Structure 1
């Protein structure tokens, strides 16, 4: 872990937007992986440089959308595994400024637009570069999979290592990361590709020291290995939350970058579920969209971000300024707890019928109300014996107080949350 404490803004953010934007949007193929796995020939993949225009790129419109979605930060793919940088890097010439019709730096206006709207700036950068001539020059000492051992974009030909080439590659990578830190001052650096080399081969300690010397407040993800600040599970809510801060990376459809044929979009209701289940376990949701090559975000993805944002806006008290909620079994659904631990927010995906129960609560309940409408609900305690508390039964809200996606009840307590976790009377 880094020596700096975790930046408090991160755990308070709850929602970030991930943007996989690059030349892969021209043909709508899987970002970098399309040529790595042989789905398309390498030269065909690289011909997409000629079609990348960013002709309607409007990071101000992006930032407005992210703010409407309720996000507090965003992460843009400054350079994916294909090595194509979205800024005018002095390290190599494979970038959209010199090699595509876009012809300009796309990172600076993105950072400026986010900051103008009070959003934190995140940049994604892959340690690996499957196009760099010096990359496939050393062997991972314990390859995690066969691809790392044999793929021609990763492994040296015939297994013959070239330490000098690897040193040149690290200088290139460190130079590009240095540019990102110095020019754009990102609040967060989101690394990837770490599985292809060992921590020692990557020089993670030196890279971490370089970044934090440039900006000591930079948040680093776990793909800096032991120098990362937070964990990054992908595509599925973990059943047991990772230790410490974490973030669930989730696509709106099935693809990270723009793939026009992929219409398997998650519904707003599903996104509300993913989001609330994640924050109830103390994590953030990093929700991914794939802009088209011209820089526009599709109507389907825009509608879903706005739908999630509308739900968050109606229930902001249960989202921002909260911490992880009750352990499983106390309430049938996710929950969050206010930072002062005096209010529990119960999230109900289905329309409550007759009553809801809250079990194992030692506190006295002062008031229960529906978040968003303020309607107060009657409640009573039934049962209990000695140290074992009874069950708090809450009257179900009327139809007019039921939210389309998830109804939230605020349970105000007489003091800090105090839960009974025992096995009942012997």
Structure 2
């Protein structure tokens, strides 16, 4: 009888999970495709000494013990998550992803499965993640949780490339008596699933941003079980590509892809060369470069996940805040050419990035240089209703040259672009069309009959 009851419960649970997973990938990804901008946050011990996050340990540039001692100065005394969230919202961000745990094992939330967290093992002495989630949700943005699959401080994790204090590790990761009946890897898998479950119980994230998957094969993590579990906990959740073979979208890093990816994607990028707070890293990208990269990304249908690394006390460095605000001013001015748009035309119709309105009746042309005498737009079959500068009321004059409509050759739209329309970072021109965009994609041929 007991076996039958257990079997029935298992069946009902399976049906419940299956029903929750019924949403298609496209349905789950719908909000992400129009998000355009996210803010990435790397925050942890590493900002205290201004060293590489986790990797300084991995490459033995600092001992595990010295790395962990940074927690004594990880104070978060000026941490103001509400101010963070208001800033991110003001620049046009639609989602925010913050490290809940990097490869070093430090959890920013109060985890019952580890003492290596911001409450028990840092001067902060409290849960830092819950107020972040509440603040982001309070500004109506999506919450993304960064979670490292590998944990280089867990006593049962392998491979490890550096010496550690094994006795200290066991105190940081307490285990029950029954754990001894499991293998080391089974104990780690159980721990990993427990922490992920804890994050979902606490926060129900909209997005999980995995990292570290390269250290093990998909069936070793195991990726399929993890993905199925996440969907059973939240059927709307989406996952980046760093869950071996089971991600929902691509996550290229630093360098924008040359070719347009064949599925949804985001570019994660630092402002300087470091992910965490690194005060000696002064190689900041200019605001103009960040705007240009953002434009190139959305023109290929992607999102930009722009990174900041707050200080150990919770402040955002002025250099980072300034760049966020500069990008935000540009987005606010040109929002119609950002949100509610889709990837633009193939290269050749216009020598620069483009996007289209969702109904494909407006072409947005982006110019990174000071406008010259005219701008050329080629191969557009539609009649033009109006051409204007986005962010102002200025209409632009234009004419069509070299057309041969009887041979289906639409000609070239010459748009006259005076210098006074120039934007500091990128000028945007809206070409309003009669009807949905139709393009001439021919190779050209002789005009055998003139009108």
TM-score of the superposition, structure 1-length normalised? 0.93
Kindly indicate whether the alpha-carbon contact (under 8 Å) linking 2:372 and 2:419 is maintained by their aligned counterparts in 1. Answer: no
User: 1:1-12 maps to which residues of 2 (within 5 A)?
Assistant: 3-5=24-26, 6-12=28-34
Q: 1:34 aligns with which of 50, 56, 64?
A: 56
Equivalent residue, structure 2, for 1:194: 213
Equivalent residue, structure 2, for 1:412: 432
For residues 434 and 384 of structure 2, what CA distance do their matches in structure 1 show?
A: 6
For residues 444 and 216 of structure 2, what CA distance do their matches in structure 1 show?
A: 51
For residues 97 and 132 of structure 1, what CA distance do their matches in structure 2 show?
A: 18
Number of corresponding residues: 406
User: 1:207-218 maps to which residues of 2 (within 5 A)?
Assistant: 207-218=226-237
Q: Is 1:129 equivalent to 2:151 in the alignment?
A: yes
Equivalent residue, structure 2, for 1:376: 395
Q: Is 1:397 equivalent to 2:418 in the alignment?
A: yes
> What secondary structure, in the 3-state scheme, does the structure 1 residue paired with 2:366 have?
strand
For residues 330 and 241 of structure 2, what CA distance do their matches in structure 1 show?
A: 30
Deviation at 1:226, TM superposition (A): 2.2
Provide structure 1 residue ranges, at least 5 long, that are not aligned to the other structure: 138-149, 155-161
Structure 1 16/153 Cα, relative in aligned 2: closer, same or farther at 3 Å?
A: farther
Q: Is 1:290 equivalent to 2:317 in the alignment?
A: no
Deviation at 1:203, TM superposition (A): 1.0
Q: 1:75 aligns with which of 74, 81, 97?
A: 97
Equivalent residue, structure 2, for 1:146: none
> What secondary structure, in the 3-state scheme, does the structure 2 residue paired with 1:125 have?
strand
Kindly indicate whether the alpha-carbon contact (under 8 Å) linking 1:368 and 1:409 is maintained by their aligned counterparts in 2. Answer: yes
For residues 35 and 272 of structure 1, what CA distance do their matches in structure 2 show?
A: 34
Deviation at 1:205, TM superposition (A): 1.0
CA RMSD in angstroms comes to 1.7
Kindly indicate whether the alpha-carbon contact (under 8 Å) linking 2:254 and 2:270 is maintained by their aligned counterparts in 1. Answer: yes
For residues 332 and 60 of structure 1, what CA distance do their matches in structure 2 show?
A: 42
Kindly indicate whether the alpha-carbon contact (under 8 Å) linking 2:361 and 2:437 is maintained by their aligned counterparts in 1. Answer: yes
For residues 374 and 243 of structure 2, what CA distance do their matches in structure 1 show?
A: 48
Deviation at 1:38, TM superposition (A): 1.3
Kindly indicate whether the alpha-carbon contact (under 8 Å) linking 2:53 and 2:276 is maintained by their aligned counterparts in 1. Answer: yes
Equivalent residue, structure 1, for 2:141: 119
> What secondary structure, in the 3-state scheme, does the structure 2 residue paired with 1:249 have?
strand
- Please tell me whether Structure 1 or Structure 2 has the larger radius of gyration of its CA atoms: 2
TM-score of the superposition, structure 2-length normalised? 0.88
User: 1:5-404 maps to which residues of 2 (within 5 A)?
Assistant: 5=26, 6-136=28-158, 151-152=161-162, 164-385=183-404, 386-399=407-420, 401-404=421-424
